Structure 1
Amino acid sequence: MELGTSESSFPGSGEYHIPIDLFGSKKHPGVPRGVLAFTDASGNIVFTVNSHPPNSNSSPPSEDKKLLLDASANPLFSIYRHHNGSWKCYKGDNDGNKELVFRVQRTMKTLTRVELEVFLDGENSNVEACDLKVKGSPFKRSCCIYKDSDLVAQSSLMYKLHQLRVGRGKFRLTIFPGTIDQALIVALFVIFLSGRK
């Protein structure tokens, strides 16, 4: 999958000129409790993430699956986590046809820091060189996503003035101007949150 495709079928694809903020929480009205939802600045749901724990009937026992859905609950990506610190992301709900979009390999894991390398699938993809890097602290919901040395997106907890303790339940994901699909960035952030496992 190319980074800059204006013909993509994912929401938010194409070139944009100002940073876009998405707000993540598992306590959004209209979404079942425990389901991670991403909203825009007006509170409209843009993406949700459904988790499917491993079970012997559907996924191999070494994997668990998350579905990234758009605002209409259409599956955009299926994300599979393997126990060797790697993930694979397929287009749609891949129960049958597996079209690989990207794969992720964890390169560093400590108590406070995780680093991931992202390899996009496509005709021009270089097997040896990663296309994106993700670095940060999942516990603090804080990460930066880079393409080469350019900052593509970053996340942080929601701080309020005079707040003594910052909760980890709400966070902001800022996607900077460019042509990378918002859905792809959200999928990477979802993988990053589970990067400590």
Structure 2
Amino acid sequence: MDVESSESAAYPGSGNMQIPIDLFGSKEHHGLPRGTLAFADDSGNIVYKVNRHNSSPKDKKFLLDASGNVIFSIHRNQKGSWKCYNGESNVEAEMVLRVQRTVKKLNRVELQVFYCGERSNGGEACDLIMRGSPCMRSCGIYKDTEIVAQTSLMYKLHQIYASRGKFRITIFPGTTDHAVIVALFVIFLNGRK
């Protein structure tokens, strides 16, 4: 009896079951310069990093994979809007998504996400909505009424105050590309500005 069939026998239906994925964000990871925002899996392996190349403007960030390859470039525009492009591009044909801030309050921000290109719904309605508090590193990403991902600070037992330096992103199964969710969270952190 192979492992897969024995697991299915022990846990009926477990062959098709998908579980949420957690990524842990912090600016303190071994092997990275201090202050570099990185996201690790549950084993502590770096999956994504956020950088700003020295030659690039302050309003431009890059989402890198573990090898240092640029996945997305994130450009902050005026009046609470962002554009995300494939790789280091800034050509409209390479735009993956655009984000517009719709609510900006002291402790609450709401962003609307519009996919571009093939993934676009073709209408004026947004594809995803992000709501939460950037200063508390907590938000939910929703598609219609379904939750796609959520973030929260890392609390420990008997801890009164949670450091804002470490947080978790939980990505629910069957939703969207993990790199897109991480890029959206990077935008969300800058959404209060």
Q: Normalising by the residue count of structure 2, what TM-score does the alignment of the two structures yield?
A: 0.86
Matches within 5 A, 1:1-197: 17-52=18-53, 64-94=59-89, 99-123=94-118, 124-197=120-193
Alignment check: 8 A CA contact 2:148 2:175 kept: no
> Could you say what the CA RMSD is over the residues aligned between the two structures, in angstroms?
2.0
Aligned-pair distance for 1:126?
2.2
Deviations 1:25-48 (A, max 9, x none): 001111111110000000000000
Cα distance in structure 1, aligned partners of 2:134 and 2:21: 21
97 and 72 in structure 1: CA distance in 2 versus 1, 3 angstrom threshold: farther
SS in structure 2 of the partner of residue 139 of structure 1:
helix
Cα distance between partner residues in 2 of 1:162 and 1:130:
41
Q: Deviations over 1:90-140 (max 9, x none)?
A: 000116786000000000000100000000002443241100000000000
Cα contact 2:24–2:39 (8 A) shared by 1:
yes
Letter in 1 for 2:78: H
| One-letter code aligned to 1:38 | F
More helix per residue: 2
CA distance in 1, matches of 2:87, 2:181: 15
Give the C-alpha shift of residue 68 in structure 1: 0.1
Structure 1 residues not aligned, in runs of 5+: 1-14
Q: How high is the TM-score relative to the length of structure 1?
A: 0.84
In 1, Cα distance between equivalents of 2:71 and 2:53: 15
> Are the aligned partners of 1:119 and 1:127 in contact in 2 as well (CA < 8 Å)?
no
Deviation at 1:16, TM superposition (A): 8.4
Q: Distance in 2 between matches of 1:96 and 1:150?
A: 32
Please identify the structure whose Cα radius of gyration is greater: 2
Query: Greater relative contact order (Cα 8 A, min sep 6): structure 1 or 2?
Result: 1
Give the unaligned 5+ runs of structure 2: 1-15
Counterpart-to-counterpart distance in 1, 2:52 and 2:104: 22
1:40-92 Cα shifts (integer Å, max 9, x gaps): 00000000000258x7xx65xxx710000001110000000113100000000
Separation of aligned partners in 2, 1:169 and 1:69: 20
Tell me, yes or no, if the aligned pair for 1:68 and 1:75 is still in contact at 8 Å. yes
